[in-house]
Amino acid sequence: SGSGRLVLTGNNSYAGGTLVGPGTLVGTTSSIQGDIFNNGMVEFAQSVSGTFSGAMTGTGGLRKLGAGMLMLTGNSQMTGSSYVDEGTLSVNGVFGSNMLTVANGATLKGVGGINGGIMVLSGGELSPGNSPGTLYVSGDVTLNEGSIFLTEIDGNVYSVAGGAGSYDRLVLTGEGATFTAAGSINPILRGISGDANNNYTPVMGDIFTVVTADSVVGTFNDIVQPTSGLAANTRLKVIYNDDSVQVALVANSLGMAAMDGTMGGNAVITGLTIDYATANGQNASGELSDLLDRFDGLNETQVARATGSLSGDMHAHIIESTESVLGGSDDMIISAARGDRGVGGLSTQLDNGIRLWTRAEARGASYDPDGYTWGFDEDVYGITVGATLLNKEGMKAGIAGSYKTVELYNDTADGATNHMLSLYGYGSRAVTTRLTLSGLVGYTNASAKVSRTTELGTIVSHSRAKQDIKVLHAQAEARYKVLERGGTSAYAIAGVRTAISNVDAYDEQGDLDFTQLSVGGESRSTLQSKLGAEIAHTVAKTDFALFGNWTRDLGANPRVKREVSLGNAIWQTVSVNRGLDTYNYGVRASRDVTDRIGVEIEYTGRYNSPNYDAQQLMIGVNVAW
């Protein structure tokens, strides 16, 4: 008793209890024995590790000194404040204290319970568990700037009992108890002492709840990544919830995750751009911060597919599809301009008559995946109506209009619908009995709707956009009859086609703003040459034609590119790589039903190595008067 300090240096073995009045009792686990009624301060100066199994009660507190570890296994209930000034205090029983303060260079750990609050000062360390385990605290836990929260992870299945295959957890049991985060959090995967396997490598999607409390405030200033045990392109990230703190394994680089997930270049570029804009997730804000939070808990495949959807390549596909569909439509109008029996109207004996014609078409096309994109499939249904108003010997001119509906889809949940309305003026002139020149000018307004579905675990985001693609297109063709023998004719064909497409910038709309892309405007022009041949033969008043041609894109790479952005991340997405050379082939049959009504059917195939092929079937009815 008294206000001074009593230091015990010998080894004691007394069986009775110890009473500490005002003042301080200093010793070790060898010199201080049994239960202690403490109304002052008990200091354990442990230079080596030791265990105290007695119970402490009273209004006093405990102070841990020395570099060694003090393990408490008894049931202590004191109302004073306690301190870990040096070394390590491991609470494996119950330790009651008004406030337990951990000083610079000291550590608090254990798998027991602390009845009171904890304050960790700068340089102090709080490490629940011995090997993986759970430390319970009834009061508030406050980490100050510069403090360390160390958590050992030996598996992804939490066990209350702890041990091998589990991970540490701090549980605040008191009603209204608050955990205040600050300093750094240091997850450990290797070098775990005690009962641990030390061979666990977490995978993307693993989440570890390391703190539970009624309330969580503050954030850690830093997460110190484990020095070993992480797979390539992974890092641990802290998740703050209202009542818990979690550590999740996420991709260090979304771009590399997309590449490892065998996604195309669009997904990789999207991921790398988001990486750059957010410093690999370390400095994300706005929509990108919200987006990356939704990647928590996704496995590698889910991360890759979500990044692929975010690339927005369907916005490039819709322009690619529009240009391709119009190429086939223009070929059909050129046939009308020539006044072929199959399109412009029937017999050459009906000169000066107006010819009305219509054609229904169905087309299927496949744009195979390449190094950048999933590719897509295309279904087209349309109808074209025209009138050849001028039909003199050697000269024809007319107008036409067409409507087409186009559906785009692929192996993802993304897709597009396109409603295309086209107006044409066309004409032809027979320069000689063998040479005919034909041409057209067309304007198309394509009302396109793109839909994207981004799957983020249990969250599914639907984004939509509507935009008009305006296309001005023209085509000229020379057709020369090189052979006419009996009912058979052969033609050589040469031509040129150009198109100018424009689409304004627009924003997607949807249910989650952090997945809605902004798409830049695009203006592009294409120019193609055409060389081909056709053989026509008449059998039993039915005209048959076999044709083939080669078109080549002149100038720049025809691949469609779109600028896409999300937050401060801006990237370029592309459509399927369309080669410069396209090969068209097909067969056509036409027949006059009466002297003023004719019918026709045509099959056309298109092939562009290595990623594109299309099959088209068209049926026409022609009327003249």
Q: Which candidate, 208, 204, 165, places its Cα nearest to that of 185? A: 208
Q: What is the mean pLDDT of residues 222-244?
A: 97
Is the pLDDT at 185 greater than 50, yes or no?
yes
- Are 138 and 173 in contact, with CB atoms under 8 Å apart? yes
Q: Cβ distance 18 to 37 under 8 Å?
A: yes
Residue 17 is predicted with a pLDDT of: 86
Q: In this structure, which amino acid lies at residue 195?
A: D
Mean pLDDT is lowest, of 20-24, 113-117, 406-410, for 20-24
Q: pLDDT tens digits for 528-556?
A: 999 999 999 988 888 899 999 999 999 77
Least confident of 86-95, 107-116, 352-361, 492-501: 352-361
**Measured torsion, CA atoms of residues 199, 203, 206, 210, in degrees rounded to the nearest 10:** 40
pLDDT value of residue 483: 92
Tens-place pLDDT, residues 558-591: 889 999 999 999 999 999 988 889 999 999 998 8
Alpha-carbon distance 145 to 139, whole Å?
20
Q: DSSP string of 148-207?
A: EEEEEBS-SS--TT--TT-B-EEEE-STT-EEEE-SEEEEE-S---SS--------TT-E
Contact (CB, 8 A) for 525 and 500: yes
pLDDT of 340: 57
Least confident of 38-47, 192-201, 473-482, 605-614: 605-614
Helix (H, G, I), strand (E, B) or coil at 569: strand
Tell me the mean pLDDT in the region 230-259.
96
